[in-house]
Amino acid sequence: MTTIDKSSRLPLYYQLVEILVKEIQEGNYLENEKIPSERALCDIYGVSRVTVRHAVEELVDMGLLEKRHGDGTYVSSKMNQDLLSFYSFTEEMKKIGRNPWSKVLGFEYIKADEKISRKHGCALHDPVIQIIRLRMADDTPMMYERTYLPKNRFPSLHRDDIENNPMYDVFRDKFDVSFSRAEEVLKPVTTRDYEAELLEINQAVPSMMIERSTYEGETIIEYTISIARGDQFNYRVVLE
Protein backbone atom coordinates (compact mmCIF):
# COMPACT_ATOMS: atom_id res chain seq x y z
CA MET A 1 0.00 0.00 0.00
CA THR A 2 1.27 3.47 -0.89
CA THR A 3 1.89 5.58 2.19
CA ILE A 4 1.97 9.29 2.94
CA ASP A 5 5.49 10.78 2.97
CA LYS A 6 5.35 13.40 5.72
CA SER A 7 8.85 14.61 4.86
CA SER A 8 7.79 15.47 1.30
CA ARG A 9 7.21 19.05 0.17
CA LEU A 10 3.94 17.94 -1.38
CA PRO A 11 0.93 18.79 0.81
CA LEU A 12 -0.50 15.81 2.66
CA TYR A 13 -3.97 16.20 1.12
CA TYR A 14 -2.45 16.23 -2.39
CA GLN A 15 -0.54 13.02 -1.67
CA LEU A 16 -3.76 11.44 -0.41
CA VAL A 17 -5.58 12.56 -3.58
CA GLU A 18 -2.92 10.87 -5.73
CA ILE A 19 -3.11 7.68 -3.65
CA LEU A 20 -6.90 7.46 -3.87
CA VAL A 21 -6.89 8.20 -7.61
CA LYS A 22 -4.44 5.32 -8.06
CA GLU A 23 -6.59 3.02 -5.92
CA ILE A 24 -9.63 3.83 -8.08
CA GLN A 25 -7.74 3.43 -11.35
CA GLU A 26 -6.36 0.06 -10.27
CA GLY A 27 -9.82 -1.17 -9.31
CA ASN A 28 -9.21 -1.41 -5.59
CA TYR A 29 -12.26 0.82 -5.16
CA LEU A 30 -14.89 -0.08 -7.74
CA GLU A 31 -17.48 2.14 -9.40
CA ASN A 32 -20.47 2.71 -7.12
CA GLU A 33 -18.53 1.26 -4.14
CA LYS A 34 -18.53 3.06 -0.80
CA ILE A 35 -15.07 4.18 0.28
CA PRO A 36 -13.89 3.97 3.92
CA SER A 37 -15.18 6.59 6.34
CA GLU A 38 -13.17 9.71 7.19
CA ARG A 39 -12.09 8.15 10.47
CA ALA A 40 -10.99 4.96 8.73
CA LEU A 41 -8.99 6.90 6.12
CA CYS A 42 -7.32 8.84 8.93
CA ASP A 43 -6.24 5.56 10.54
CA ILE A 44 -5.17 3.93 7.25
CA TYR A 45 -2.98 6.81 6.08
CA GLY A 46 -2.00 8.41 9.37
CA VAL A 47 -3.35 11.87 8.60
CA SER A 48 -5.81 14.28 10.21
CA ARG A 49 -9.50 14.48 9.44
CA VAL A 50 -8.94 17.95 7.93
CA THR A 51 -6.50 16.40 5.42
CA VAL A 52 -8.95 13.62 4.57
CA ARG A 53 -11.83 16.04 4.08
CA HIS A 54 -9.72 18.26 1.82
CA ALA A 55 -8.68 15.27 -0.30
CA VAL A 56 -12.22 13.91 -0.55
CA GLU A 57 -13.61 17.30 -1.57
CA GLU A 58 -10.94 17.54 -4.26
CA LEU A 59 -11.94 14.13 -5.62
CA VAL A 60 -15.61 15.07 -5.56
CA ASP A 61 -14.79 18.21 -7.58
CA MET A 62 -12.84 16.02 -10.03
CA GLY A 63 -15.92 13.82 -10.44
CA LEU A 64 -14.19 10.67 -9.14
CA LEU A 65 -16.18 10.52 -5.90
CA GLU A 66 -19.76 11.45 -5.07
CA LYS A 67 -21.35 12.13 -1.71
CA ARG A 68 -24.72 10.55 -1.01
CA HIS A 69 -26.68 12.35 1.65
CA GLY A 70 -26.77 10.37 4.87
CA ASP A 71 -24.99 7.39 3.33
CA GLY A 72 -21.33 8.29 2.89
CA THR A 73 -18.99 8.75 -0.06
CA TYR A 74 -18.91 6.48 -3.13
CA VAL A 75 -16.76 6.02 -6.19
CA SER A 76 -18.55 7.98 -8.88
CA SER A 77 -20.90 6.05 -11.11
CA LYS A 78 -20.74 8.55 -13.95
CA MET A 79 -22.66 7.63 -17.03
CA ASN A 80 -20.19 7.02 -19.87
CA GLN A 81 -22.34 7.63 -22.91
CA ASP A 82 -21.27 6.33 -26.30
CA LEU A 83 -22.67 8.68 -28.92
CA LEU A 84 -22.41 6.26 -31.84
CA SER A 85 -25.82 4.65 -31.46
CA PHE A 86 -29.39 5.47 -30.47
CA TYR A 87 -29.84 5.34 -26.69
CA SER A 88 -32.34 6.14 -23.97
CA PHE A 89 -31.63 7.49 -20.52
CA THR A 90 -33.65 4.70 -18.92
CA GLU A 91 -31.76 1.87 -20.59
CA GLU A 92 -28.34 3.44 -20.04
CA MET A 93 -29.02 3.90 -16.32
CA LYS A 94 -30.11 0.28 -16.00
CA LYS A 95 -26.86 -0.84 -17.63
CA ILE A 96 -24.82 0.69 -14.80
CA GLY A 97 -27.06 -0.63 -12.05
CA ARG A 98 -28.97 2.56 -11.30
CA ASN A 99 -32.74 2.80 -10.84
CA PRO A 100 -34.04 5.34 -13.42
CA TRP A 101 -37.29 7.23 -12.98
CA SER A 102 -38.74 10.57 -13.95
CA LYS A 103 -40.38 13.30 -11.95
CA VAL A 104 -42.87 15.07 -14.24
CA LEU A 105 -42.80 18.78 -13.42
CA GLY A 106 -45.08 19.93 -16.22
CA PHE A 107 -47.41 18.58 -18.92
CA GLU A 108 -49.41 21.01 -21.03
CA TYR A 109 -50.57 21.91 -24.53
CA ILE A 110 -48.97 25.04 -25.92
CA LYS A 111 -48.77 26.82 -29.28
CA ALA A 112 -45.58 26.27 -31.25
CA ASP A 113 -43.33 29.32 -31.29
CA GLU A 114 -40.93 30.05 -34.13
CA LYS A 115 -38.19 27.75 -32.83
CA ILE A 116 -40.51 24.80 -32.15
CA SER A 117 -42.38 25.21 -35.45
CA ARG A 118 -39.05 25.27 -37.26
CA LYS A 119 -37.81 22.16 -35.48
CA HIS A 120 -41.01 20.18 -36.04
CA GLY A 121 -41.75 21.56 -39.47
CA CYS A 122 -45.21 22.61 -38.33
CA ALA A 123 -47.07 25.87 -38.68
CA LEU A 124 -46.58 28.68 -36.19
CA HIS A 125 -49.06 28.29 -33.29
CA ASP A 126 -49.84 24.64 -34.11
CA PRO A 127 -50.60 22.70 -30.90
CA VAL A 128 -47.66 20.88 -29.34
CA ILE A 129 -47.25 19.00 -26.08
CA GLN A 130 -44.66 20.41 -23.68
CA ILE A 131 -43.33 17.99 -21.07
CA ILE A 132 -40.91 19.07 -18.35
CA ARG A 133 -39.16 16.31 -16.44
CA LEU A 134 -36.42 15.79 -13.90
CA ARG A 135 -34.59 12.58 -14.79
CA MET A 136 -33.46 10.66 -11.71
CA ALA A 137 -31.05 7.81 -11.03
CA ASP A 138 -31.87 6.30 -7.65
CA ASP A 139 -32.33 9.48 -5.59
CA THR A 140 -29.93 11.62 -7.62
CA PRO A 141 -31.23 14.23 -10.09
CA MET A 142 -29.30 13.76 -13.34
CA MET A 143 -30.98 15.82 -16.06
CA TYR A 144 -33.55 18.57 -16.42
CA GLU A 145 -35.50 18.15 -19.67
CA ARG A 146 -38.03 20.05 -21.76
CA THR A 147 -39.63 17.94 -24.49
CA TYR A 148 -41.86 19.11 -27.33
CA LEU A 149 -44.09 16.68 -29.25
CA PRO A 150 -46.54 17.28 -32.12
CA LYS A 151 -50.03 16.88 -30.68
CA ASN A 152 -51.37 15.40 -33.93
CA ARG A 153 -48.90 12.48 -33.62
CA PHE A 154 -49.67 11.82 -29.95
CA PRO A 155 -53.31 12.93 -29.59
CA SER A 156 -54.17 10.70 -26.62
CA LEU A 157 -50.92 11.07 -24.67
CA HIS A 158 -51.60 11.77 -20.99
CA ARG A 159 -49.44 12.80 -18.08
CA ASP A 160 -50.07 9.44 -16.40
CA ASP A 161 -48.53 7.63 -19.38
CA ILE A 162 -45.10 9.15 -18.86
CA GLU A 163 -45.25 9.31 -15.08
CA ASN A 164 -45.58 5.53 -14.94
CA ASN A 165 -43.60 4.38 -18.00
CA PRO A 166 -40.47 5.28 -19.97
CA MET A 167 -41.50 7.75 -22.65
CA TYR A 168 -39.99 5.84 -25.57
CA ASP A 169 -41.82 2.69 -24.44
CA VAL A 170 -45.08 4.68 -24.52
CA PHE A 171 -44.25 5.90 -28.02
CA ARG A 172 -43.69 2.34 -29.24
CA ASP A 173 -46.47 0.56 -27.36
CA LYS A 174 -49.29 3.11 -27.47
CA PHE A 175 -48.53 4.99 -30.68
CA ASP A 176 -46.66 2.40 -32.74
CA VAL A 177 -43.71 4.71 -33.30
CA SER A 178 -40.79 3.38 -35.32
CA PHE A 179 -37.64 5.42 -34.64
CA SER A 180 -35.34 5.92 -37.60
CA ARG A 181 -32.60 8.03 -36.03
CA ALA A 182 -31.80 10.77 -33.56
CA GLU A 183 -29.50 13.76 -33.84
CA GLU A 184 -27.88 15.51 -30.89
CA VAL A 185 -26.05 18.78 -30.44
CA LEU A 186 -24.01 19.14 -27.25
CA LYS A 187 -22.80 22.39 -25.75
CA PRO A 188 -21.22 23.15 -22.35
CA VAL A 189 -23.23 25.79 -20.52
CA THR A 190 -23.28 27.67 -17.25
CA THR A 191 -25.85 26.17 -14.90
CA ARG A 192 -28.65 28.62 -14.17
CA ASP A 193 -30.02 29.20 -10.66
CA TYR A 194 -33.22 27.19 -11.01
CA GLU A 195 -31.43 24.36 -12.85
CA ALA A 196 -28.80 24.09 -10.11
CA GLU A 197 -31.56 23.99 -7.49
CA LEU A 198 -33.44 21.21 -9.29
CA LEU A 199 -30.26 19.22 -9.99
CA GLU A 200 -29.04 19.74 -6.42
CA ILE A 201 -25.64 21.05 -7.47
CA ASN A 202 -23.67 24.22 -6.89
CA GLN A 203 -24.22 26.75 -9.64
CA ALA A 204 -20.45 26.75 -10.20
CA VAL A 205 -20.67 23.17 -11.51
CA PRO A 206 -20.91 23.35 -15.32
CA SER A 207 -23.61 21.49 -17.21
CA MET A 208 -24.01 20.07 -20.70
CA MET A 209 -26.92 21.21 -22.84
CA ILE A 210 -28.12 18.48 -25.19
CA GLU A 211 -30.56 19.22 -27.99
CA ARG A 212 -32.05 16.02 -29.37
CA SER A 213 -34.23 15.65 -32.46
CA THR A 214 -35.73 12.18 -32.82
CA TYR A 215 -37.03 11.08 -36.21
CA GLU A 216 -39.71 8.76 -37.48
CA GLY A 217 -38.78 8.39 -41.10
CA GLU A 218 -37.88 11.94 -42.12
CA THR A 219 -40.23 13.59 -39.62
CA ILE A 220 -39.08 14.95 -36.26
CA ILE A 221 -41.48 13.62 -33.64
CA GLU A 222 -39.55 14.64 -30.54
CA TYR A 223 -37.47 17.71 -29.79
CA THR A 224 -35.86 17.72 -26.34
CA ILE A 225 -33.55 20.19 -24.61
CA SER A 226 -31.72 18.60 -21.69
CA ILE A 227 -29.46 20.11 -19.06
CA ALA A 228 -27.20 17.30 -17.83
CA ARG A 229 -25.02 17.54 -14.74
CA GLY A 230 -21.40 17.95 -15.76
CA ASP A 231 -20.26 15.97 -12.73
CA GLN A 232 -22.32 12.90 -13.66
CA PHE A 233 -21.78 12.34 -17.39
CA ASN A 234 -18.92 11.55 -19.74
CA TYR A 235 -19.60 11.56 -23.47
CA ARG A 236 -17.47 9.52 -25.83
CA VAL A 237 -17.09 9.52 -29.60
CA VAL A 238 -14.96 6.85 -31.26
CA LEU A 239 -13.32 7.90 -34.54
CA GLU A 240 -12.37 5.09 -36.89
Is 93 within 8 Å of 99 (Cβ atoms)? yes
Facing residues of 215 across strands? 181, 220
Q: For the chain, what are the domain ranges?
A: 12-75, 79-236
Task: Provide CATH code, domain 12-75.
Answer: 1.10.10.10
The 10s digit of each residue's pLDDT in 153-211 is 999 999 999 988 889 999 999 999 998 888 888 898 999 999 999 999 888 888 999 99
pLDDT category at 134 given cuts 50, 70, 90 is: very high
- Which range has the worst mean pLDDT, 1-5, 35-39, 138-142? 1-5
Least confident residue range of 14-18, 28-32, 148-152, 218-222? 28-32
Residue 78 has pLDDT above 70, yes or no: no
Classified by CATH at the fold level, domain 79-236 comes out as Chorismate lyase (3.40.1410)
From residue 153, alpha-carbon distances to 101, 122, 139, 213, 226 in Å are: 24, 12, 33, 15, 22
Mean pLDDT of 14-34: 85
Q: Which amino acid is at 171?
A: F
